[in-house]
A and B are shown apart, each in its own frame.
Chain A
Amino acid sequence: MEQLTFGTLIAVFEEIFGGVLFWLMVVAAVLVTVAYLYVLVRDRSVSMRKFLLAQLSMPIGAVAAVVFVQVMTHSQLRDIGGPVDLIVVLGIAVVGAIGMAILVYTAQSLLRGKSE
C-alpha cells in the first residue's frame, strides 16, 4: 500500500458492504445525525431520562456492529489473532455503540416530543 487516500477508503467500504448498502448506510447515518442535532437544538437541553435509555442500548449497538462486519467478511470471533485485531474489533464496537445511542436518543425525542 503506497498511500491511503480518502477515495480509496470509500472504495474499501463499498467493497465490504457493496455499493448500494454502503451508500444507504451513509445516508441513514447522515439523516440520524441531522435529526439528532435537530432535537438537541429544539429541546435546548439533553434529557437525562432519554440519555439513560440511550446508554443502556449501547452494548446492543456494539455487539450488533461487530456481528454485522463479521458476517459481511466471512469472519468469526475466533479469527482475532493479535492486538491489532482486538483494536479493530473494539473500534467497530465503539462506533456501533455510539451510533446506537444517538439513534435511540433521537428516536425517543422525535416520538415523545419535547416535553419529557
Chain B
Amino acid sequence: MKELFETTASRRAFMGLFAGGVAAAAVQPAVAQAVQTSARIVIIGAGAAGTSLANRLVERLDGADITILDPSATHLYQPGLSLVAAGLKPSSYTESQTADWLPSGVSLITEAAAAIDPVAKTVGTSGGQTLAYDFLVVAPGLVLDHDAIEGFSLDMVGSNGIGALYAGPQYAAKTWEAASKFAEEGGVGLFTRPATEMKCAGAPLKHTFLIDDIAKRTAGEGKHEIHYAANNNSLFGVPIVSEKVRMLFEDRGITAQYSHVLKSVDAGAKIATFATPEGDAEMEYDYLHVIPPQRAPDVIRESGLSWADKWTDQGWVEVDMKTLRHLRYPDIFALGDVAGVPKGKTAASVKWQVPVVEDHLVAAINGNEGTAIYDGYTSCPLITRVGRAMLIEFDYRNNLTPSFPGVIAPLEELWISWLMKEVALKATYNAMLRGKA
C-alpha cells in the first residue's frame, strides 16, 4: 500500500512538472499596450535586421503603415556559410524564403530601394514606385566588392584552388570543393581578409582554423603550410582576442603575415599579390581564400546618408552610435551591417540593436524620446577547429562582455562554445527574426 502511495505521488509530481513546462511555454513577456498610429514606416532590407524589426513593430504599433523592401526572394542565414565552406552543412542549410519570416500586416515589395530623398522623405524603388515615409529604417546590409581584386572573378571559385565563402551559399559550397582538395593534396594555403570594415571579422579566422584542422586530419601533419594575411598589425580588432589568436596560431603552426592586403590574383600562375607597407609582395599558393572589400550599397552612398569624414571609401550611414539614429535626419535610423558605428557587423549585434531602434522609433511616434542604448555588443563564436570554439563577446570599448561569466570562459577553446555555433546559433537567429529573443 505504501508503495502504491509512492508511485501515485511521483506520478503527480511528474504531471506537475509536465504542466509546469507547458505553462512556461505559454507565458509571454508582458507587452505594453500597442500604440495607435497611422505613421508610414519604410524598412529597406528584409535581412536579419529588417525582418526582426518588422516583427517587433507590428506588436508595438496599431494602425501603422509598414512597408518592407527587399528584391531577394531568398533569406540567407549567413553565419552558416562558414560551416558550408568546411563541408559540415549543405548549402541549403543557409537558405529560406524571405516572405515566410514576415508578419501579416506588413507589405513586402520585392524591389530594391533605388533612391532615397531624405529631405522630401521618399524612397524610389527599382520598379519605379515612389514611397513616402514618416520614418525610414535603412537595413540593406553591405555589398561585397569582388571587382576591387584585380584578376579575380566569382566564376573562378571552386577550381584552381580558389575559395570565396562570403559570396553566398553556392560559392561557399564551391569553396569547400577547393578547400577539401587542398586538404587532401597539401601545399600552401593563403587566407585573407579585406582592409575595410567587414561583417563578422571572426569569419576569416574561422575558415583558417577549420581548414587547418581538416587538412591535418585528412593528409596528416606537415603536408600543409598555412598563412593568414592580416590587414594590419593585429589579428582581431579587440586586443585581448588578437593576442589569444596569436598564441593559437603559434600552437597550430599557422604563420601570420601582418599588413598584407590582397590586391590581385593570377589564377593561372597561382600567385597572389598583396599590398604591404614595404610595397607589393607576391606569394604562391595552392589554396587562396578571398574575402573582398565591403561597402554600403550604392543607394546609401548616393543619397547623402553616409559619413562625410569617416570611412569615406565605404560609405556607412552617419548615425549616433548609441541610438542608431541619423545625425542629420532624425526620422531615419540605420540597423545592421550598414550602420556607421565602430563595432557591430554581426547578427548578434543586430539582436541588441533592434530593440534600441524600436524603442526610439515608438517613442518618436508618441512624441517623446526613447531611452534604450546600444553599447556596441558584438559576438562571434570563433571556431578554432571542428568541435571547438571560443565564445567571444565584446563592446565598443573592447571590453569582453561574456553572457555566461564563470561558466563559459570567453578565451578558452570549448566544446560548449562549438555547440553554440553549430546548433544554438541558428535557433536563436530564427527566434530573433520572428522578433522573439
Using CB atoms and an 8 Å cutoff, list the residues of chain A in contact with chain B. Answer: 1-8, 11-12, 14-16, 33, 37, 40-41, 44-46, 73-76, 78-82, 84-85, 88-89
With A1-B437, A41-B4 given, name 15 new contacts (CB 8 A): A6-B24, A7-B436, A8-B428, A11-B430, A12-B423, A37-B14, A40-B7, A40-B11, A44-B3, A44-B7, A75-B386, A81-B388, A81-B414, A88-B416, A88-B419
Q: 6 A-B residue contacts at CB 8 Å?
A: A7-B431, A11-B428, A37-B14, A75-B415, A75-B419, A82-B412
- Count contacts on B: residues with CB < 8 A to the other chain: 36
Say whether B423 contacts A16, CB under 8 Å: yes
Say whether A8 contacts B436, CB under 8 Å: yes
Residue from B24, B387, B427 in contact with A11 in the complex, judged by beta carbons closer than 8 Å: B427
Using known A-B contacts A2-B352, A84-B414, determine if residue A73 contacts B407 with beta carbons closer than 8 Å.
Answer: no
The residues of B that contact A46 with a CB separation of less than 8 Å are 3
Please give me the 10 A-B residue pairs with the lowest Cβ-Cβ distance, nearest first.
A79-B387, A11-B427, A85-B415, A75-B387, A79-B415, A81-B414, A12-B427, A6-B25, A40-B7, A15-B427
How long is the Cα–Cα vector from A84 to B426 in the complex, in angstroms? Answer: 22
Say whether B388 contacts A79, CB under 8 Å: yes
Q: Which residue of A lies closest to B419 (CB)?
A: A73
Number of CB contacts from chain A to chain B under 8 A: 91
B351 at the interface (CB under 8 A from A): yes
The residues of A that contact B408 with a CB separation of less than 8 Å are 84
Say whether B7 contacts A82, CB under 8 Å: no
Residue from A37, A40, A41, A79 in contact with B418 in the complex, judged by beta carbons closer than 8 Å: A79
The residues of B that contact A79 with a CB separation of less than 8 Å are 387-388, 415, 418
The residues of A that contact B4 with a CB separation of less than 8 Å are 41, 44
Residue from B3, B88, B407, B431 with most neighbouring chain A CB atoms (10 Å): B431
The residues of A that contact B412 with a CB separation of less than 8 Å are 81-82
Say whether B427 contacts A14, CB under 8 Å: yes
Using CB atoms and an 8 Å cutoff, list the residues of chain B in contact with chain A. Answer: 3-4, 7-8, 11, 14, 21, 24-25, 88, 351-352, 386-388, 403, 407-409, 412-416, 418-419, 422-424, 426-428, 430-431, 436-437
Q: Which residue of A lies closest to B87 (CB)?
A: A74
Q: Which residue of A lies closest to B413 (CB)?
A: A81
Smallest Cβ distance from A75 to chain B, in angstroms?
4
Say whether B388 contacts A84, CB under 8 Å: no
Residue from B24, B25, B416, B437 in contact with A3 in the complex, judged by beta carbons closer than 8 Å: B437
Say whether B415 contacts A80, CB under 8 Å: yes
Residue from A3, A45, A46, A82 with most neighbouring chain B CB atoms (10 Å): A82
Say whether A15 contacts B387, CB under 8 Å: no
The residues of A that contact B387 with a CB separation of less than 8 Å are 74-76, 78-79
Smallest Cβ distance from A54 to chain B, in angstroms?
16
Say whether A2 contacts B351, CB under 8 Å: yes
Smallest Cβ distance from A22 to chain B, in angstroms?
11
Q: Which residue of B lies closest to A17 (CB)?
A: B423
How long is the Cα–Cα vector from A89 to B227 in the complex, in angstroms? Answer: 35
Say whether B431 contacts A11, CB under 8 Å: yes
The residues of A that contact B423 with a CB separation of less than 8 Å are 12, 15-16, 73
Using known A-B contacts A14-B427, A37-B11, determine if residue A74 contacts B351 with beta carbons closer than 8 Å.
Answer: no
The residues of A that contact B25 with a CB separation of less than 8 Å are 6-7
How long is the Cα–Cα vector from A75 to B413 in the complex, in angstroms? Answer: 13
Smallest Cβ distance from B68 to chain A, in angstroms?
23
Q: Which residue of A lies closest to B1 (CB)?
A: A44
The residues of B that contact A33 with a CB separation of less than 8 Å are 14
How long is the Cα–Cα vector from A67 to B218 in the complex, in angstroms? Answer: 22
Q: Which residue of B lies closest to A70 (CB)?
A: B387
The residues of B that contact A3 with a CB separation of less than 8 Å are 437
Say whether A73 contacts B3, CB under 8 Å: no
Say whether B416 contacts A8, CB under 8 Å: no
The residues of B that contact A81 with a CB separation of less than 8 Å are 388, 412-415
How long is the Cα–Cα vector from A12 to B423 in the complex, in angstroms? Answer: 6
The residues of B that contact A78 with a CB separation of less than 8 Å are 387
Smallest Cβ distance from B142 to chain A, in angstroms?
24
The residues of A that contact B409 with a CB separation of less than 8 Å are 82, 84
Q: Which residue of A lies closest to B420 (CB)?
A: A1
The residues of A that contact B436 with a CB separation of less than 8 Å are 5, 7-8
Q: Which residue of A lies closest to B26 (CB)?
A: A6
Say whether A75 contacts B7, CB under 8 Å: no
Say whether A1 contacts B422, CB under 8 Å: no
How long is the Cα–Cα vector from A75 to B419 in the complex, in angstroms? Answer: 9
Q: Which residue of A lies closest to B393 (CB)?
A: A1
How long is the Cα–Cα vector from A75 to B428 in the complex, in angstroms? Answer: 21
Smallest Cβ distance from A88 to chain B, in angstroms?
6
The residues of A that contact B407 with a CB separation of less than 8 Å are 84
How long is the Cα–Cα vector from A100 to B428 in the complex, in angstroms? Answer: 31
The residues of B that contact A14 with a CB separation of less than 8 Å are 427
The residues of A that contact B88 with a CB separation of less than 8 Å are 74
